[in-house]
Amino acid sequence: MDMHLISRAVAELGECLRVENNVLATAESCTGGLLASTLTDTPGSSEWFAGSVVAYSNEVKAGLLGVPREVLDEHGAVSEPVVRAMAEGVLKAVGAQVSVAISGIAGPGGGTPEKPVGTVWMAWAWPGGSRARRYDFSGTRTQVKEQSVMTAVNGLLGVVR
């Protein structure tokens, strides 16, 4: 991950959130807290970052974030309806004004023909709305996680600008 680029993007994100007096929450699965760690590397992030739920298991996705079991069973954890529910769930749980959720297959195993390694779904939510998108990243497990973090931050910038 290009630390200079991500640092600049996070600093801009933080400034946009701070100016509007908004706070951010994250729900992470395949990134395992890397996004939250990246956000908190920025001095002053406590002004605009409320917290994160690392929901690696479906039990945590359902129990803490309120993802309906039937949605998990029908679509799988790496899907649009699940990340939307994760983003909306963490928004409510933390009381934030904007959130992002990430769920994917970082590899090297776990892929299927329908959802190969590198498949990552993200959703961004705010009171009254959300959007989601599927990404197909490549590279090692670490590279998929890093691409996910950068993409999540850029998506957040698109929401808060």
For residue 107, how many other CB atoms are within 10 A of its CB? 21
pLDDT attached to residue 4? 86
Angle at 30 between CA 25 and CA 35, to 5 degrees: 40
Taking a C-beta distance cutoff of 8 angstroms, is the pair 88, 105 a contact? no
**Between the CA of residue 68 and those of 57, 61, 63, 83, 87, what are the distances in Å?**
13, 9, 9, 11, 13
pLDDT attached to residue 2? 83
Is the preceding peptide bond at 108 cis, omega within 30 degrees of 0?
A: yes
Question: Of all helices (H) and strands (E), which one includes residue 24?
Answer: strand 24-28
Picking from 127, 125, 33, 27, the residue whose alpha carbon sits closest to that of residue 77 is 27
pLDDT attached to residue 1? 73
pTM for the full predicted model: 0.96
pLDDT attached to residue 142? 97
pLDDT in tens, 101-122: 999 999 999 999 999 999 999 9
Instruction: For the chain of 161 residues, list the mean pLDDT of each consecutive stretch of 10.
Output: 89 97 98 98 96 97 98 98 98 96 96 96 96 98 97 97 91
Q: What are phi and psi of 113, to 5 degrees?
A: -60, -35
Domains, in order of start, for the chain: 3-160 (3.90.950.20)
pLDDT attached to residue 3? 81
Q: Tell me the three state secondary structure of residue 121.
A: strand
- CA separation for the pair 114, 63 (Å, rounded): 27
- Residues in Cβ contact with 29 at an 8 Å cutoff, skipping those fewer than 6 apart: 54, 55, 56, 61, 77, 86, 101, 102, 103, 104
